[in-house]
Structure 1
Amino acid sequence: MWAVRWNNPTLHTPERRKVWLACDSHRETLWEFLSLRGFARDVVPVDQLEPTDG
Structure 2
Amino acid sequence: MIKSPAIEIIKTFSKDEFKRFAEFTESPYFNKNSNLLKAVKYFKKISPEFRRMI
> Quick check: TM above 0.5?
no
Bucket of the pairwise TM-score, normalised by the shorter protein = 0.3 to 0.5
Higher helix share: 2
Q: TM-score, normalised by structure 1?
A: 0.40
RCO higher in 1 or 2 (8 Å CA, sep ≥ 6)? 1
Higher strand share: 1
Q: TM-score, normalised by structure 2?
A: 0.40
